[in-house]
Structure 1
Amino acid sequence: MSERKRLVVVCGLPGTGKTTVASDLTKRLEADLVRTDVVRKDRFPDPEYTETETQATYEATLARASRALERDDVAVVDGTFRREPLRERARAVAEDADARFELVRVECDTSVVRTRIAEREGDESDADFAVYELLESEFEPPAEPHYRVDNSGSLGETRRQLAAICETLEARVS
């Protein structure tokens, strides 16, 4: 296994700041970013968010991540990954690529999520607060070891947490 090669999955509920976290990690790790919101819109210009559509979106997302791992050694994937089988599929993609699998769960206070979703402009995500509430009831918390980012505070606080995570990741490479 290449010490640098890794697949980082950023999971969590809509509006928690997954894209902010994934974008920051992408820069820090010099990685490719693959977002389920973007892949869904590429595949389904007028998405209906059916289970079949969701499965197809995640398969296409993970296929893109696999290609990114072949090219650049590090890929960051941004999506809810709300159920364990989706995270297991991502783990299998990492194993197939002989890459480390890292899971980062982004959490955020509900009141902050409500405000952030209301203020979204120009984002690829269609998720409103009702979607957040629905997915909250369906989200299966990861049982496996993972990194946790509390994105309830300032961007600076989030970046400090991400710096610490990246230090840990780099220490595992050394």
Structure 2
Amino acid sequence: MRGYFGIGSERISKAMNLGAVLRTAHAFNASFTFTIAAHHRAKEINLSDTARSAAHVPLYEWESLDEMRLPKGCMLVGVELDENAIDLPQFQHPLNAAYLLGPEKGDLSPEAKMLCGTIVKIPTRFCVNLSVAAALIMYDRTISLGGYGPRSKTLAAPPREEWRQVRRQK
């Protein structure tokens, strides 16, 4: 896949969520991760980030939006359940992007929204967990920019009896 991406959160408060985001970002080959005005217990991150991702993917911890520094040409994309946002399945991911999610119990700040080149939403009835939202964003980016092409038709599964025979042979 060409281009690069980073993913992070503004005002994240739960270390377990941050650890899950870091681990998932590592799995999806993110170029960097970040937090803005985070207030979590740093010691607890490794409980959910069993891959120790900070050793493999840079983690930038900015105290404020003013401190945030993104690479030149990197679009900041807000992720928010907002009626004016673009539905994720219709969104064309920029080649170089940093995805910014809001806190667990709240929205992106108005200042963060102003910095975003666009806002996308995951089309759900209500908000999902922050780390789940991050995983969905990274998965969508991977399938849309990863060169996988169109999805193939569903192949019929072999009859149940054939599965039983295969299992018995093992």
Q: TM-score, normalised by structure 2?
A: 0.39
Q: TM-score, normalised by structure 1?
A: 0.39
Structure with bigger RCO (C-alpha 8 Å, 6+ apart): 1
Name the structure where helix makes up a greater proportion of residues. Answer: 1
